[in-house]
Amino acid sequence: RRLCESPQTRQPLAYLRLRRAIRTVVEHRDIEPGQALPSERDLSQALGLSRVTVRKAIAGLVEEGLLTQRHGAGTFVAERIVKPMSRLTSFTEDLRARGLNPRSEFFERGIGEVTPEEAMAMNLSPGAAVVRLHRVRYAGDEPLAIERSVVPASVLPDPMLVRDSLYEALERRNCRPRRALQRLRAVSLGAQHARLLHVATGSAGLSIERRSFLDDGRVVEFTSSWYRGDIYDFVAELHTD
């Protein structure tokens, strides 16, 4: 047991504190995406922390996707948005965590009747009322994704409850999803989607379908998204069992 005790196991707080501090720096954009972090040596000298502590804090943030490392060149704030696939987060949360300003432009935010396909996918009875959202999702002025969401009106009775973030509206009603199934597919973006996303027709995109559930198994959302392939990385941790 002794053998496994390394110095950093005795000071986990310092590494966690540094990790939080770097995250705040990135969120506040004190270091912009693509810019370099001070070297490990400079950080450890300036902060009076061991190299091991600094390295551990940085390694955690690299794993999270907030920082990237280029061999021999140093550590940078990631330019691409790296999204861990195993966490059920919203577009708004993913962007805020990177110091970006999430915004939606709505094409549609209304209530209607479920289609037969949607009813099947969401386990709803024919004719059930659903809220429909169709929007372009931005980081500031830059369009990143197009999303079409369908939400049962039994969960969200009024589409105007969604100001910008769907999950925030669901949270306020205590209906935040707890589990989701997600399918990712590579696509080439058609003319209409490409125009909305400010990329060339035929550019690489990711088509993502998400069905999210409440604890009791009810479907909360059925969302089809088209993400720009040139900006997003989806990463997952894999286990053998």
Q: Give the footprint of ligand GLP on this chain (CB under 6 A).
A: 90-92, 147, 149, 165-168, 208, 210, 221, 223, 225
Shortest distance, CB of residue 192 to ligand GLP, whole angstroms?
19
Residue placing its CB nearer to ligand GLP in the complex, 45 or 101: 101
Using CA atoms, how far apart are residues 100 and 92, in angstroms rounded to an integer?
9
Using CA atoms, how far apart are residues 224 and 183, in angstroms rounded to an integer?
10
Dihedral of CA atoms 80, 86, 91, 95 in degrees, nearest 10, equals: -40
Using CA atoms, how far apart are residues 221 and 33, in angstroms rounded to an integer?
32
Residue placing its CB nearer to ligand GLP in the complex, 166 or 175: 166
Shortest distance, CB of residue 112 to ligand GLP, whole angstroms?
18
Using CA atoms, how far apart are residues 180 and 211, in angstroms rounded to an integer?
5
Shortest distance, CB of residue 134 to ligand GLP, whole angstroms?
12
Residue placing its CB nearer to ligand GLP in the complex, 12 or 157: 157
Shortest distance, CB of residue 234 to ligand GLP, whole angstroms?
10
Residue placing its CB nearer to ligand GLP in the complex, 11 or 90: 90
CA atoms within 13 A on the CB side of 57: 24
Q: What is the 3-state secondary structure (H, E, C) of 91-104?
A: HHHHHHCCCCCEEE
Q: How far apart are the first and last CA of the chain?
A: 26
The secondary structure element, H or E, covering residue 89 is: none
Shortest distance, CB of residue 33 to ligand GLP, whole angstroms?
19
Residue placing its CB nearer to ligand GLP in the complex, 14 or 189: 189
